[in-house]
Structure 1
Amino acid sequence: GALNLDRELILYGSKKQTPVSLKSLLETGKGDLLKGFEGKQRESTTASELVLFQVACFLHRELPVRVAHRVEHLQSAPFLLNSPSIQLVCARYKNTFARLRSTPAPHTPENRELFTNLLVEIYDEHSATLIHIAKGLKEIQAAMEHDRDQFADKHEIQKIFDDFFISRIGIRMLVSQYLKLCQPEVPNMIGLVNLKTSVFEIAKTAIEDATYMCRRAHGDAPDVVVVGRTDLTFPYVPSHLNYMLLELLKNSMRATVETHGIDDMPPIKIVIADGEDNEDVVIKVSDEGGGIKRSNMSRIWSYLYTTADPETLEAILNSVPPLQVGGTAASVPADIAHHNLDEFPSRAEHANANPSQSTSVGTPAQQKNPLRDFAVTASPLAGLGYGLPIARNYARYFGGELTIVSMEGYGTDGYIYLPRLGKSDASV
């Protein structure tokens, strides 16, 4: 009953999450951490099957703990209870927790298949969570009777939603890493991680996508020049890097067009910096788009500060059906797909899985990815208003950082710092 569910949620919410570094994700995906596990699965014969059992058993234990933490988080602040949309998101997490707890441990092939199917369902059901959280933020704002500017500066709300989104990335990363491991192997890929992620190839994809969006919105787009270590490859999750670069490029292109008009646009510059002894891979996106006022700098990280047209924002928020708890997942309309890509394969993900093909910006097979096409053809240039804070969460998720330095009246530099994940023990 409900009482037992609440007790279980409290019990699991009090357990500590198990930290997982990308290094250990890679080692598990390669089968390096199987020692001691073989004896438990006599029916399995291959190392890859053992890896899947090992990861599935870990997720069966770990996901209820992480989901319980999410529920606890969303019930922690009184003002969150003023929002029907956030209460519904919370109810969906409770429903997910109950289903995870009632599914048998995946120790047999049949049970692993049951568990895998449940994970696919859960992943899809939660794909529109960002939109419902955005609705919730508007409801909280109305309930607090503050204007948008005052609300945008509230630090408590900022921290709660930063923590929420980083944790959400973590849950979805673990689930999608497992689901990817269940699929046929791709060269250089271990689940979602590309061992030879090329910043240059992903930059080319992001430039192409941002240019398409900018041209559709404004009629033209500034050129983008890429300099520095264009030959650099390192282990990373390409879809995360693609999201970060695309967000910075969209902002830079819009600022450049709005500052200079389309007849005389200075180029945007991407610099890829990396020395052999560097702690991080560092990428800079530099524009001459007029910069940001110093008084507005803190607000660019706020979940409600947006330069989007209010009507566009309303259209996005109203384009998702009301959230049904425990029912079938609502499909994600094309015009918001970009905001829900999460760890779905993007065209960038396999852009250099085969280095011999890495000179082209996208092979025909890559270009047919329907999720990627949704993202490009129908994403507003400035949509929900929290692209930057979410991009920063993606950077921080593996122990990196994303910062913005602005010179008002001239332009803005965005810096992405990414630890070399093969060497990093940053936890997820």
Structure 2
Amino acid sequence: MKISGRLLATLAQGCVRRTTERDHLARRFEFYACKHNPTPLTLGGYLKFGQNPCQQKSFKFLRFELAVRLANMLKEIEELPKDLMNTSSADLVHRWYEESFRELMEFENASSSDQSVLSEFSEALEKIRSRHSTVVETMAQGVMELANSSPDGVLEDATRKDIQYFLNRFYISRISIRMLINQHILLFGNQLNQERRYIGSIDPHCDVLEVVQGAYEDAKGLCDLHYCITPKLDIKCFNPYEQGEPIQMVYVPSHLHHIMFELFKNSMRATIETRSNVTDSDLLPHIEVKIFKGKEDITIKISDQGGGFSRDQLDLMFNYTYTTASKPSADHHTPFAGYGYGLPLSRLYAVYLNGNLDLAPVEGHGTDAYVYLKTLSQAASELLPVFNKTTAKYYNSPIPVADWSNPSHTTGLTTFLSRTYCTKTSNQ
């Protein structure tokens, strides 16, 4: 079969053009990944901008900041064990992020004064958000594929260390990226914000008691479905500096709901399964919640009588894929427990805005969980992973290093955060 000289020339030009585009994209990737760090924002900064929003400013900030955060994430993915990245699920996640970075680059030099460009940018963000909607589950599937490929179904210690370190940073980066995208879409996109008092996804007067009660009711519905009984809730609020006032704060209600929903599910399951002969909710010990508002911290304490666990197991509670529940069957569309991601992800939602989640078990009795959130919106600063030489060194170190995924290592926590996370904040 003969190919004309003109067609050959056209094909050659196409190859050159594609090669040039790939080279350009690679250079931009290195620029954003190696020469820039993510810029942490505060809830106060989000709120201030959202009260007087400017679509052009948001466009110019996001096309740069999202590129930096995506590039840092992609750089870190390259350090993962090759066996994990060779799984179909992890490879799919990798390609999703590459595609999203490429789409952002299409707006790198676009005019911010062109309304059609601004509209296209909002549509692109909606597309990116939709593409990444199942990232958590897909990456979890990749880890399971890797474990199942080993002879005994157990990952090596060094591999588990790398994956634990990566997933904490990867998922918190994902939370931050979705936060940026959601704010822009809710302020400027086609999606109507149903909550009029909200600024994007932020409630300037988030009623903590209301969110906690809503999370309990949602967990109760799921618990009733699976166990037919549910422990009752006792809840008290303490607001010593604002006597008689409800406990309110500037916060993202969906984040707090996620944290409390997972904690309630754990407490309910533990309480019920340690009393397998009880069939009446009135005979179950109540789950007790106390909410405290201080000058700097809002603390939520959740106490159950679910039997607790030993302190030796405390480190495992925040490890991905570790769970004390049986794996859910394939026909469970809304499994009550079994995947092992509830506590680790809940902790990340708290840590993301400079809070925390701690557990205090009493073996043979029950468990207290403490959720710490910042009272002041300016103190609620994003905690963002930064890819640097220290990060690469961690992945290449054969000796496990204490990091903040291990809640018992407070010294490791301080060192880890100071070396590999952004702490300098910006008000956008």
* Same-fold call, TM cutoff 0.5: yes
Partners in 1 of 2:57 and 2:202 — Cα distance? 18
Aligned counterpart for 1:248 among listed residues 253, 263, 267: 263
Partners in 2 of 1:172 and 1:65 — Cα distance? 14
Specify the SS of the correspondent of 2:274: helix
Cross-structure match for 2:341: 386
CA drift of 1:128 comes to 0.8
Q: Deviations over 1:4-48 (max 9, x none)?
A: 3333222221122122222211111122xxxxxxxxxxxxxxxx4
Residue 27 of structure 2 corresponds to residue 7 of structure 1: yes
Aligned counterpart for 1:399 among listed residues 348, 351, 354: 354
Shift in alpha-carbon separation, 1:260–1:96, aligned structure 2, 3 A: same
Partners in 2 of 1:273 and 1:151 — Cα distance? 40
Partners in 1 of 2:177 and 2:149 — Cα distance? 30
Question: Any residues of structure 2 matched to 1:56-75 within 5 Å, and which?
Answer: 56-75=59-78
Residue 320 of structure 2 corresponds to residue 303 of structure 1: yes
Segments of 5+ residues of structure 1 without an aligned counterpart are 32-47, 317-334, 336-378
Partners in 2 of 1:8 and 1:385 — Cα distance? 37
Residue type of the alignment partner of 1:179: I
Residue type of the alignment partner of 2:27: R
Residue type of the alignment partner of 2:146: I
CA drift of 1:185 comes to 8.1
Shift in alpha-carbon separation, 1:150–1:415, aligned structure 2, 3 A: farther
Residue 223 of structure 2 corresponds to residue 214 of structure 1: yes
Partners in 2 of 1:145 and 1:282 — Cα distance? 45
Aligned partners of 1:60 and 1:105 also within 8 Å: no
Question: Any residues of structure 2 matched to 1:357-376 within 5 Å, and which?
Answer: none
Aligned partners of 2:44 and 2:380 also within 8 Å: yes
Aligned partners of 1:281 and 1:417 also within 8 Å: yes
Shift in alpha-carbon separation, 1:127–1:184, aligned structure 2, 3 A: closer
Question: Any residues of structure 2 matched to 1:315-394 within 5 Å, and which?
Answer: 335=333, 379-394=334-349
Specify the SS of the correspondent of 2:229: coil
Cross-structure match for 2:131: 125
Q: Deviations over 1:336-370 (max 9, x none)?
A: xxxxxxxxxxxxxxxxxxxxxxxxxxxxxxxxxxx
Cross-structure match for 1:77: 80
Residue type of the alignment partner of 1:392: R
Partners in 2 of 1:425 and 1:402 — Cα distance? 15
Residue 214 of structure 2 corresponds to residue 190 of structure 1: no
CA drift of 1:252 comes to 0.1
Residue 311 of structure 2 corresponds to residue 294 of structure 1: yes
Partners in 1 of 2:273 and 2:231 — Cα distance? 11
Aligned counterpart for 2:187 among listed residues 161, 174, 181: 181
Partners in 2 of 1:311 and 1:195 — Cα distance? 38
Q: Deviations over 1:107-156 (max 9, x none)?
A: 32111000001101110111011111111111222345454486699333
Aligned partners of 1:152 and 1:302 also within 8 Å: no
CA drift of 1:83 comes to 2.4
Percent sequence identity over aligned pairs: 34
Partners in 2 of 1:300 and 1:152 — Cα distance? 19
Aligned partners of 1:166 and 1:397 also within 8 Å: yes
Residue type of the alignment partner of 1:66: R
Moved more, 413-422 or 146-155: 146-155
CA drift of 1:78 comes to 2.5
Cross-structure match for 1:339: none
Q: Deviations over 1:45-65 (max 9, x none)?
A: xxx4xx222112211111111
Shift in alpha-carbon separation, 1:300–1:145, aligned structure 2, 3 A: farther
Cross-structure match for 1:35: none
Aligned counterpart for 1:26 among listed residues 47, 52, 62: 47
Partners in 1 of 2:158 and 2:134 — Cα distance? 23
Cross-structure match for 2:105: 101
Partners in 2 of 1:152 and 1:10 — Cα distance? 28
CA drift of 1:410 comes to 0.2
CA drift of 1:306 comes to 1.9
Shift in alpha-carbon separation, 1:148–1:411, aligned structure 2, 3 A: farther
Residue 90 of structure 2 corresponds to residue 86 of structure 1: yes
TM-score (norm 2): 0.76
CA RMSD of aligned residues (A): 2.2
Cross-structure match for 1:280: 297
CA drift of 1:427 comes to 2.7
Partners in 1 of 2:153 and 2:111 — Cα distance? 49
Aligned counterpart for 2:249 among listed residues 234, 237, 249: 234
Aligned partners of 2:328 and 2:337 also within 8 Å: no
Aligned partners of 2:88 and 2:142 also within 8 Å: yes
Aligned partners of 1:152 and 1:305 also within 8 Å: no
Aligned counterpart for 1:53 among listed residues 52, 56, 62: 56
Question: Any residues of structure 2 matched to 1:31-46 within 5 Å, and which?
Answer: 31=52
Specify the SS of the correspondent of 2:359: strand
Moved more, 90-99 or 148-157: 148-157
Shift in alpha-carbon separation, 1:221–1:185, aligned structure 2, 3 A: closer
CA drift of 1:390 comes to 0.2
